[in-house]
Chains A and B, each alone.
Chain A
């Protein structure tokens, strides 16, 4: 009878198409919006992922990775004094103004890496060598800088010069790194030169990056550093999630995306639920005929469930497929942000399952109440 159920579904083309469209649209909407949301959350943690140090030491009041409260440079030595620290290096991150050759300005995220080790350097160099950062006035710029400068008519290549706070910067390398939340280009230089480019201030150390010696875990090291007054040590993973949760709790981003996802669910329930109800309702007389001919409730229930979950499965597949296609298309341009971890399709699958179960349930209630004797009316 399951084969009969599928034939009844697939051959009722208008309702079948309506059901598939409703569920595919609902899946697409949820999957695409959740993936863009995840992409935005990934942007907020771009600095953490680009630098990649195991333990980050910040001012005790810092709540997330993009919040910089400058510290004294002596904090690097304090961290180094903690037992279990293999190495600890300074990192500067600040928003600075770059002036281009045509006189226009562009805000950039200046990243000053430890001069000796270049810890946190970009791993994906498209042109030039990262070691050249130690040359005078040398900077490495990312793909966003190249793109933003290109839009202003300036072609960035090795040897191109521009100014950061009135000091010359010369491009010695082009790299590809994760985009920042605010979309500002990353400009890499050494920590010492970053101090020259940055506006003078009493405290200029943004982060201390540290790593444990073998035998000490990141968490243990963070715990030991946390005993130092005025400092807060956070492992890379914890800082990632602290940042994500900070944006979830303190911005309207989740509400905005959550509303669209909720709309997707409502549209899915409304379209799929209503259409499936109509489908079952239209077939009620035939289901009653089956019941009269000797089909038990388990047989009829399995038919209705198979029909509901078949359209759910196909609609889900189309929706997630379209979202993936959209994601692939935008990933090349990196905007809007798109990141689809396995949890997103899993979540959409659960919601689709719920919609199908709901649709099947209202159909099954009808079938359960069905008097086989109605076939004689």
Chain B
């Protein structure tokens, strides 16, 4: 098995803006390896989230190459990409996107249910993951009854419960205070990072750069540099 999990080459993505088009990605190129936590950083509007969306298949690019786990996403049909995402991708969102009317265990079990696991088995496995992240006593709490850090831990559980090979994190610490952000990243790195898994984090938060194995810097729709030693990275 190649150590390369994701290979993005010269990807172009644009959006309509009136009579013209705005280019969010202007030939972005990026590789991600198995067993690494890759951070994508850069100023607002530089195309970080668009690149993340293209990598996980929620947005289609217009040009370039896009390989995820030996799958050419550009050649796959919508239904195939949806199934691929269902099986292989776990999501952690900035706003958590937990369903307010579902309990923690119900929220965390959604990816398993989408993968065809029975409700009872999904709940059992989700409860185990939640317990592993320290929320064993909050299984039946609703999101409104949880703190920001607890919400993000539910979101992490949801991202990990079906054991995906790619974890996509969009600003995972943006809604958290500094201490909780550190704890969340600790948890993410310890529980999410596996030799057969790749974690990609888009962030603005320079307080968490040291958790990365590599940092890709973006500007104006392109990846402008890769840093292999994040501990010294205070560029932004």
Number of B residues, CB within 8 Å of A: 29
Give residues of chain A (1-50) contacting chain B, Cβ–Cβ below 8 Å. Answer: 1, 3-4, 7-8, 11-12
Is B85 in contact with A376, judged by CB distance below 8 angstroms?
no
Contact A376 B53 (CB under 8 A): yes
Given contacts A1-B114, A299-B114, contact A293 B91 (CB under 8 A): yes
Task: Report A273-309 residues with CB < 8 Å from chain B CB.
Answer: 283, 285-286, 289-296, 299
Which residues B36-60 have CB closer than 8 A to chain A? Answer: 49, 52-53, 56, 58-59
Nearest-Cβ distance from residue A301 to partner chain B, whole angstroms: 13
Question: Hey, which chain A residues are within 8 Å of B86, CB to CB?
Answer: 293-295
B87 at the interface (CB under 8 A from A): yes
B contact residues around A69 at 8 Å (CB) = none
A375 to B114, CA, bound (A): 18
A246 CA / B125 CA spacing, docked (Å): 69
- Bound form: Cα–Cα A263–B146 in Å: 45
Q: How far is the CA of A12 from the CA of B49 in the complex (A)?
A: 31
Q: How far is B91's CA from A99's CA once the two chains are assembled, in angstroms?
A: 88
**Residues in A whose Cβ lies below 8 Å from that of B110:** 1, 4, 290, 293
Residues of A within 8 A of B89 (CB): 293-294
A373 within 8 A of B: yes
Q: How far is the CA of A293 from the CA of B101 in the complex (A)?
A: 18
Which of A291, A292, A296: most chain B Cβ within 10 A? A292
- Using Cβ atoms and an 8 Å threshold, which residues of chain A touch B102? 4, 7-8, 11
Chain A residues, CB < 8 A from B87:
294
Q: List A contacts of B106 (CB < 8 A).
A: 4, 7
A375 in contact with B97 (CB, 8 Å): yes
Are B114 and A376 in contact, CB atoms less than 8 angstroms apart? no
Please indicate the chain A residues that have their CB under 8 angstroms from the CB of B101 in the complex. Answer: 7-8, 11-12
0 or 1 for each of A339-374: is its CB under 8 Å from B? (1 = yes): 000000000000000000000000000000001110
Contact string against A for B residues 67-95, beta-carbon threshold 8 Å, 1 for contact and 0 otherwise: 00000000000010011011101010111
Contacts of A294 in B (CB 8 A): 82-83, 85-87, 89, 111, 114-115
Q: How far is the CA of A1 from the CA of B114 in the complex (A)?
A: 7
Give the CA-CA distance A295 to B170 in the complex, in Å: 20
A287 CB, min distance to chain B CBs, angstroms: 10
Q: Does B119 contact A (CB under 8 A)?
A: yes
Q: Which residue of B91, B94, B115 contacts A292 across the interface (Cβ within 8 Å)?
A: B91
Q: Are A293 and B93 also in contact (CB < 8 A) when A3-B119, A371-B58, A373-B58 are?
A: no
Please tell me if B99 contacts chain A, counting CB pairs below 8 Å: yes
Q: What is the minimal beta-carbon distance from B175 to any residue of chain A, in angstroms?
A: 14
Report the bound CA distance from A373 to B81 in whole Å: 13
Confirm or deny: B113 has a beta carbon within 8 angstroms of a beta carbon on chain A. Answer: yes
CB distance from A10 to the nearest CB of B (A): 8
Among A293, A296, A372, A377, max chain B CB count under 10 A is at A293
Q: Given that A1-B114, A294-B114 are contacting pairs, would A375 and B93 also be in contact in the complex, using a CB cutoff of 8 Å?
A: yes
Chain A 101-154 interface residues, beta-carbon cutoff 8 Å to B:
none
Assembly CA distance A114 to B126 (angstroms): 83
Chain B residues contacting A376 (CB-CB under 8 Å) are 49, 52-53, 58, 93-94, 170
Show the binding face of A for B, using Cβ within 8 Å: 1, 3-4, 7-8, 11-12, 283, 285-286, 289-296, 299, 371-373, 375-377
CB pairs A–B below 8 angstroms (26 shown): A1-B110, A1-B114, A3-B119, A4-B99, A7-B102, A11-B101, A12-B101, A285-B95, A286-B97, A290-B114, A291-B58, A292-B56, A293-B85, A293-B86, A293-B89, A293-B91, A293-B110, A294-B83, A294-B86, A294-B111, A295-B114, A296-B83, A371-B59, A372-B58, A373-B59, A375-B93
Q: Which residues of B contact A (CB under 8 A)?
A: 49, 52-53, 56, 58-59, 79, 82-83, 85-87, 89, 91, 93-95, 97, 99, 101-102, 106, 110-111, 113-115, 119, 170
Which 9 residue pairs across A and B have the least CB separation, nearest first?
A294-B86, A11-B101, A289-B97, A372-B58, A373-B53, A373-B58, A294-B85, A376-B49, A373-B59
